[in-house]
Amino acid sequence: MSNYEFSPVMSGDKPCCQISKRAQICLGLGLLVVSLSVVVAVVLLKVRSPPELLEWHGHGTTSHFSEIVLGRCFTYTQIIRPELRDEDCRKIVDAFKSAFLSKNPCNITKEDYQPLINLVTQTIPCNKTLFWSKSKDLAHQYTWVQREFFTLEDTLLGYMADDLTWCGDPSTSDLNYQSCPHWRTDCSNNPGSVFWKVISQKFAEAACGVVQVMLNGSLTEPFNKNSTFGSVEVFNLNPEKVHTVQAWVMHNIGEVSSDSCSGYSLNELKLIVRERKMAFICQDNYRPARFVQCVKNPEHLSCRSQI
Partner 1 sequence: MAARGCAPWWLPLLQLLLLQLGAGAAGERWGGEGTSPHLQSIFLGRCAEYSSLLRPELRDKNCTAIWEAFKVVLDKDPCSVLPSDYDLFIDLSMHSIPRDKSLFWENNHLLVTSYSDNTRRFMPLCDVLYGRVGDFLSWCRQKNGSGLDYQSCPTSEDCENNPVDSYWKRASMQYSRDSSGVIYVMLNGSEPTGAYPVKGFFADFEIPYFQKDKITRIEIWVMHEIGGPNVESCGEGSVKILEERLEAMGFQYSCINDYLPVKLLKCVDHSTHPDCALNSAAASTQREVPSLYAEPSTSLIIPFLVAMALGSQM
Q: Which residues bind partner 1 (CB under 8 A)?
A: 62-64, 67-72, 74-75, 78-79, 82, 85, 89, 141-142, 144-147, 163-164, 287-289, 291-292, 294-296, 298-299, 303-307
Minimum distance between the CB of residue 211 and partner 1, rounded to whole angstroms? 20
Concatenate the DSSP letters of all residues of 163-216 into one string. Answer: T-----BTTBSS---SEE--TTTT-SSSHHHHHHHHHHHHHHHH--EEEEEEEE
* Catalytic-role residue among 208, 282, 294, 303: 208
- CA dist 278 and 191 (Å) reads 33
77 vs 265, beta carbon nearer partner 1: 77
End-to-end C-alpha distance for the chain, whole angstroms: 110
Please list the helix, strand and coil fractions of the chain in percent, rounded to the nearest 5, in that order.
45, 10, 45
Minimum distance between the CB of residue 298 and partner 1, rounded to whole angstroms? 5
140 vs 276, beta carbon nearer partner 1: 140
Q: Do 149 and 128 meet the contact criterion of CB atoms below 8 Å apart? A: yes
Max alpha carbon distance in the chain (Å)? 117
Minimum distance between the CB of residue 305 and partner 1, rounded to whole angstroms? 6
Residue 193 per-residue DSSP state: H
106 is catalytic: no
74 vs 280, beta carbon nearer partner 1: 74
Minimum distance between the CB of residue 47 and partner 1, rounded to whole angstroms? 28
List residues with catalytic annotation: 126, 208
